[in-house]
Amino acid sequence: MNLSELWIRRPIMTILFMAGILFFGIISYRKLPINNLPNVDFPTIEVSAALPGANSETMASTVAMPLEKQFAGISGVDSMVSSSVQGKTTINLQFSLDRNIDDAAQDVNAAISAAMGVLPGNMPNPPTYKKVNPGDMPIIFLGLVSDTLPITAINDYAENILTPHLSTINGVAQVRVVGTQRFAVRVQVNPRVLANKGIGINEVQDTLSSGNVNMPGGELQGTNTGFMLKPYGQIFDAEGYNNLIVTYQNGYPVRIKDIGKAIDGVEYKKQRAWFFTKGQAKRGIFLLVSRQPGTNTVALAKEIKSLMPMLKASMPGAMDMAIFYDQSLFIKESINDVQFTLILTVILVIIVIFLFIRAVRPTLIPALSVPLSLIGTFAVMDLMGYTLNNLSLMSLTLAVGFVVDDAIVVLENIVRRREMGEDPMTAALNGSKEIGFTVLSMTLSLVVVFIPIMFMGGIIGRLFREFSVCITSAILFSGLVSLTLTPVMGAHFMGTVSHTHGRFYESSESVFKWMLNFYSHTLKWVIYHRKYVVIFLVFIVIGTVYLARAVPKGFIPTQDQNFFRVFSIASDSISFENMVMHQKEVIKRILEDPDIKEASGASAAGFPGDTSGILFCGLKDKAERKSSVDEIINRLRPKLNQIPGLIVSLVNPPLITIGARISSAQWQYTLQTTDIDELFKYGTQMEESLRKLPALTDVRSDLQMRKPTIEIIIDRDKASSLGLTVKQIQDAFYSAYSDRQVSTMYTAANQYYVILELAPGFAESPELLSMLYIKSSTGKLIPLSTVAQIRHSVSPLSINHIGQIPAATISFNLKPGYSIGTAMEDINKLSRDTLPATITTGFQGSAQAFKQSFASMGFLLIVTVVIIYLVLGMLYESFFHPLTILTALPLAGFGALFALWIFGKELDMYAYVGMIMLIGIVKKNGIMMVDFALDAERNEGLSAEDSIFKACQIRFRPIMMTTMAALFGTLPIALGIGAGGEARQPLGICVVGGLFFSQFMTLYITPVFYIYIDKFNRWITKDSKKEPKKVREDAALP
C-alpha cells in the first residue's frame, strides 16, 4: 500500500491542502495571546477576618478554628492554611485543579454564613473572601506619590478612583492596594484627665457611637406633595468630633477636646509603603494589577499603559504616578528571544540539509516541512485555547530539529532512486512506497512518547500539557507533509538529476564517501567483535545509573526577570517604628549596589505582625549591568545579614508560585503537632539545625513565639462587688489599646472609621495601665489596678494551621552550587535523627511539588518506554525487534546525564522533559536501520548480518542528515541564548548531549543487537533456516 500515491497523482489538491494549512495557521497565529507560561489556574480562595486588638491566640481559637471546621466540609479542598496574627486571620483554601472556582466560592460563602453564629459578636465586619491565583504574580506595579498631598488623599485616589477604573478593564482580575493609608478620625483621650474629671473610657466610647449616626429619616406625604426627610447625623472631620459633649459637670459641657483631641489620621498606623531611587525616597501607595486566567498579558499591560496619560490628567496636580514593574517587558523580551532562537534553528537546519543534498531545489523540499508543521501547529493551539509562551515556543523550537526528519528520509530515498535511473514520477511513487511504513513508524513512535506527559496529573502536568500537545501537533503535521507534499515536490518540482557537479559538490562528496568508507570498515570490525559491544553497553548502563544519582536534581528553574524580592523579619519584641528604621537601613544598603535601579517596599503591609517588611528591587537593563540577578543576590546577602536584629531573605521569584501563600523564601518545610509547647520546642531546634546545613541559607521559621505579653488577671469577685463585669473590663482594654472602631463615616465613594485610643505616650509601658478607669454600674470611677493584676509573659506573634492542626513552616533558600534534591535529603536525614514520632513533617509548596513530580518521573519514563515497545511491536509484528531499536535508550540517557554533569547543570523539570523527548528521538536511527534490514531479510533472503550491514550503508546518509539536523536544531537552546535562556539551557544540553552520544553509537550498537536478537528469535521459534553468514573483519566493501 502506498500512502502517498493519491497525493502524488493529484498535485493541485496537495498544494491547495497545504495552502489551507498555511492560511488558517497564519490567522490563528495572529489571534494567539502572549503570556510567560501556559495558563495554569490554581483554584484558590483567600478568606480574611478582622478583630482589631485581639491577640493571635484569640484570633486562632475564636475566628480561625470555627471557620476551618466549616471549610473542612467543602469538597475538593486540597489544602487549608491559616495564619492568625494580632487582629487578623487569613485562611487560604486551595482546591483540586478540576474544581470550578465559582462553585467553590459559593460553598465558601455558605460555610462563612454557617460559622457566623459562633464567631465573636464584636467583629466589626463579617469575614470576606476573594478568588486569587497564587501561581500568577501581578503583571504591573503602579506607584502613586506626592510631595505635598497627605498620604490619605493619595490613598483615596488609589482606592476610590484608580482601582475601580482599572478593575473595569477587560482581563483585569484584581487590583490590590498595598501600603493602605485610608483616612480615619482618631480620638486620642488622656487617661489622666479622664480620671481627674471622673469620666470612664466607656463613656467616651458611647459618646462617639451615638454622636455619629447615619439612619433613615423617613418621609412626609401630603395631599399634593411628598417630602423625603434627611437628618444630618454624621460628622466627617476631626473638628466635629472635638466638639462632641461627653457629659456635663457643674452645668458646663465636657467635650472631647477637653479630655483629649480628635485628629485626622489613618486607619492603619502600622503599615507604610515607600518608593526609592538613588538619592530620593518618597512615601506613597502602590497598586498590584493581576490578570484573569487566559488573558493576554502583553495586550493587557499595553492597554493599561495606554490609559496612563488619561489617568494622569484626571489626577490632582500635585500627585504623580509611575510604573515600577511591568511583567510584559520581560515576556516580550523572552518571547522575542525564543522566536529569534526558533528562526535561527530553522536556518541552521536548512544549512545542514543543504550541506548533505548540495542542491538548492531539493534542499527547499524538506525545508518546507518546517514552516508548514509550525504554522499548522498554531491552528491547533488556537483551537485548544493555548497561548504563545516560553514553553509552547520552546516546544516548536525543539520540534524544528526533527520535523524535517521524515521529509529528509522520504526525499533522500526519492533522490537515491532518481540516481538509479528512475524517472521523477516513478521514483516518487516507488520511493514513497518503500519508505512510507518507516515514516509512519517514526512519526507514531515519536508521538506516543508525549502521551504520558499529556495525561500527567497535578500542577506540573498542567504546565507541560501545552508543551506536549504543541510538539505532538508539529510531529503529526511533519509526518503528513512528508507523505504528501514531499513526494509531490519530488515528482514534479525537483528538476532533473545532473551527473555533472561543481567543485563544492565533488569535494563534499569525497568527504562523505570517506566517512561512509570509514563507517563500513569500523562497522565490520564491530560486528566481528560484537561481544565487546555488549560489554560496553553494560558499562554504559552502570554509568547511567551512577550519573542518575550523581547529577543534582532541580525543579522549575528561575530566570533573570530584572527584579527580585527582599523579605525582612525582625525579632518578636521590636516595635513598628523600630522596624521601619531597620527597613530603611536595608534599602540604603541595597541601593548602594551599582546594578540596582530602584526599589519599592512596605512594612507590615499584609504580612504577619509588625515586624515584617518586603521590598521589590528593580535592576538596570541587562545591557547596563554585568551581573545576573542571582549574582547580585549573592553579593547583597552577606551585607544585609550584617544588620543586627534582622533576618533578611532575598528571592529571585520563580516563574510560577506553587502553594496557597507567598513565603519569604523559595522552599518550605513544615512541622505539625497538636501540642503547641512541643511544636515550639522542636520547631525552634529544627530551625537552628537547618541553619547549620551547608546547602541552606535565609532559613526562617514563622514560629514566632516570643512576643512580650502582659497578662491581665481579673479579680472577678472584687470586680463584681464594685459593680463591674468582666465584659466591661475587657471593653475598656479594647477601647484603650486596640484601635477600636467605634463609629463609621459613610461617604458617596467609601466609608471611614472613627477610632478610639489613648493619647500618645499613655500606651507605651505596662506601668501606665494603672491610669485607666472604668465607670461602674453604681456610677463610681474604678481604676483598673483595683480589680486586675498584670503578669509578664511571652506569647505567639502568629499562630498557623495546616489542615486545622498547628504547624510551623521553615522557609529557606539554597546556596549557590547546591540543589533542592540534595537539600531535601539532608533535611529528611536531620528530621529522622532529631524529631520524635509525634511530630509530623513534610515539604510544602514548590518543594512538595518537586517531591511528587520526581517520584512519578521514573514511572513516567517506564510507561513511555513500554508504550513505544507496544507500538513498535504492533507495527513490526515482532516481539523482539522493538528491543533492537530501544537499545539506543541507555546511550541517550548516559549522554544526557553526562552533559548535564560536565556543564554543572541540574536535572530539573525542563531537563527531564528533554530526557523523555530523547526516548522518542534516538530510536529514529534504529527504525531506519531495522526497517530496511527486515525488508532485505524477508524479501531478498539475506542473513541478519548481511541485511543489517546493507541497511546501515543505505541509511547512513539520511541518518547523518537527521542527526545533524536534530543537533543543530537544539544547539541554540543549549547555548542559553536570550532572555530566560538560562532556564531553557538544561533542556538543550540534555538533548544535545543525548543525541550526540547516542546517535553515533547507535550506528554500531543497533546492528550488533539486531544480530543477537535475530539469533535469539530463531532459537525461540526453532527456525530451520541456515545459520547466517558472518561478516569478515577484512571483507571488501560491496
Judged by DSSP in three states, 124 sits in coil
Mean pLDDT of the chain, nearest integer: 84
pLDDT(947) > 90: no
Residues 535 and 615 in one domain: no
- Whether the predicted pLDDT of 53 surpasses 80: no
Using pLDDT thresholds of 50, 70 and 90, give the confidence band for residue 263. Answer: very high
Shared-domain flag, residues 3 and 121:
no
Assign 419 a pLDDT band (cuts: 50, 70, 90).
confident
pLDDT at 13 over 90: yes
pLDDT in tens, 723-750: 888 888 888 888 888 888 889 999 888 8
Rounded CA separation 988/971 (Å): 7
pLDDT number for residue 1032: 46
Q: Are residues 904 and 883 in the same domain?
A: yes
CATH assignment of the domain containing 395: 1.20.1640.10
Least confident among 9-13, 196-200, 528-532, 940-944: 940-944
Its domain, for residue 374, covers: 1-16+23-35+358-495
The reply to whether 637 and 720 lie within a common domain is: no
Least confident of 420-434, 699-713, 1000-1014: 699-713
DSSP line for 754-812: EEEEEPTTSSSSGGGGGG-EEE-TTS-EEEHHHHEEEEEEEE-SEEEEETTEEEEEEEE
What pLDDT band is residue 1035 in, cutting at 50, 70 and 90?
very low
**Residue 694 domain flag:** no
Which of helix, strand or coil describes residue 813? strand
Closest alpha carbon to 74 in 116, 48, 117, 45: 45
Question: Is residue 85 assigned to a domain?
Answer: yes
Q: Are residues 577 and 530 in the same domain?
A: no
- The answer to whether the CB of 470 falls within 8 A of the CB of 917 is no
pLDDT at 363: 79
Q: Are residues 918 and 1006 in the same domain?
A: yes
CA atoms within 13 A on the CB side of 1009: 24
pLDDT at 259 > cutoff 90: yes
CA 763 to CA 1009: how far, in whole Å? 85
Kindly state the average pLDDT of the residues 160-164: 90
CATH number of the domain encompassing residue 574: 3.30.70.1430
Per-residue pLDDT at 261: 94
When pLDDT is cut at 50, 70 and 90, the band that residue 1030 belongs to is: very low
Q: What is the pLDDT of residue 208?
A: 93
Enter the pTM of the model: 0.77
Q: Which of 180-194, 199-213, 651-665, 760-774 has the lowest mean pLDDT?
A: 651-665
Query: Domain of 745: which CATH number?
Result: 3.30.2090.10
Q: Check pLDDT > 80 for residue 1018.
A: no
Alpha-carbon distance of 1005 to 1008, in angstroms, equals 5
CA-closest candidate to residue 64, choices 127, 107, 129: 127
Q: 600: number of CA atoms within 13 Å, CB side?
A: 22
- Domain assignment present for 829: no
pLDDT on residue 1036: 39
Q: Does an H or E element contain 280, and which?
A: strand 280-291
Same domain, 528 and 614: no
Question: Per-residue pLDDT averaged across 10-39, rounded?
Answer: 89
Residue 790: pLDDT over 90: no
Let me know the angle formed at the C-alpha of 294 by 291 and 299, rounded to the nearest 5 degrees.
65
| Residue 626 included in any domain | yes
Average the pLDDT over 385-397 and give the result. 83
- The whole-number pLDDT of residue 501 equals 59
Task: Tell whether the model's pLDDT for residue 496 goes beyond 70.
Answer: no
What's the pLDDT tens digit per position in 318-363?
888 888 888 888 888 877 877 787 788 788 878 887 877 777 777 7
Q: Do 540 and 602 share a domain, yes or no?
A: no
- Whether residue 687 lies inside any domain: the answer is no
- Checking if the pLDDT of 878 tops 90, the result is no
- Same structural domain for residues 546 and 626? no
Whether the pLDDT of residue 161 is over 60: the answer is yes
Residue 207 · residue 194 · CB < 8 Å: no
Provide the domain count of the chain: 5
Tens of pLDDT, residue by residue over 986-995, are 888 998 898 8
Over residues 216-233, mean pLDDT: 86
- Decide the pairing of beta strands 696-701 and 128-132: unpaired
**Contact status, residue 688 vs residue 489, Cβ threshold 8 Å:** no
Confidence class for position 40, pLDDT limits 50, 70, 90: confident
49-53, 274-278, 642-646, 858-862: the lowest-pLDDT one: 274-278
Each residue of 55-79: pLDDT tens digit?
888 899 999 999 999 999 898 888 8
Query: In the prediction, which pLDDT does 76 show?
Result: 86
Concatenated DSSP letters of 659-698: SSS--SSSEEEEEE-S-HHHHHHHHHHHHHHHHTSTTEEE
Residue with cell 500537545: 469
Matching residue, cell 530496511: 932
Does residue 961 fall inside a structural domain? Answer: yes
- What separation in angstroms does the CA of 500 have from each of 345, 413, 421, 491? 32, 20, 15, 21
Please say if the pLDDT value at position 108 is more than 90.
yes
CB atoms within 10 A of CB 223: 5
Q: Tell whether 608 and 721 lie within a shared domain.
A: no
With cut-offs at 50, 70 and 90, classify the pLDDT of residue 383: very high
Query: In this structure, are 1021 and 888 located in the same domain?
Result: yes
* SS3 state at 188: strand
Contacts of 14 (CB under 8 A, 6+ apart): 7, 484, 485, 488
* C-alpha cell, 1027: 545459520
- Of the three residues 741, 765, 795, the one that is the final residue of a domain is 795
Q: For residue 785, what is the DSSP state?
A: H
* Grid cell digits, residue 655: 516563574
Q: For position 106, what pLDDT does the model report? A: 92
From first CA to last CA, the distance across the chain in angstroms is 30
Distance CA 569, CA 85 (A): 15
In single-letter form, the type of residue at position 261 comes to K
Q: Are residues 1017 and 896 in the same domain?
A: yes
387 within a domain of the structure (yes/no): yes
Confidence of residue 662 (pLDDT cuts 50, 70, 90): low
How many whole angstroms separate alpha carbon 630 and alpha carbon 632? 5
How far apart, in whole angstroms, are the C-alpha atoms of residue 543 and residue 808?
41
Tell me phi and psi for residue 955, to 5 degrees: -95, 5
| pLDDT of the residue at 693 | 92
Q: Which DSSP string do the residues of 917-962 spell out, in sequence order?
A: HHHHHHHHHHHHHHHHHHHHHHHS---HHHHHHHHHHHTHHHHHHH
24 CB burial (10 A radius; 0-12, 13-18, 19+): middle
Percent of the chain with pLDDT over 90: 16
pLDDT in tens, 512-565: 888 888 988 888 888 888 888 889 889 999 999 999 888 888 887 778 888 888
Contacts of residue 92, defined as CB under 8 A and 6 or more positions apart, other chains included, come to: 44, 45, 46, 47, 79, 80, 81, 82, 134, 660, 661
Last residue of a domain, one of 763, 795, 827: 795
Could you tell me which residue, 70 or 709, shows the higher pLDDT?
Answer: 70
Residue where a domain terminates, one of 115, 132, 149: 132
Whether 228 has a pLDDT exceeding 50, the answer reads yes
Residue 934 forms part of a structural domain: yes
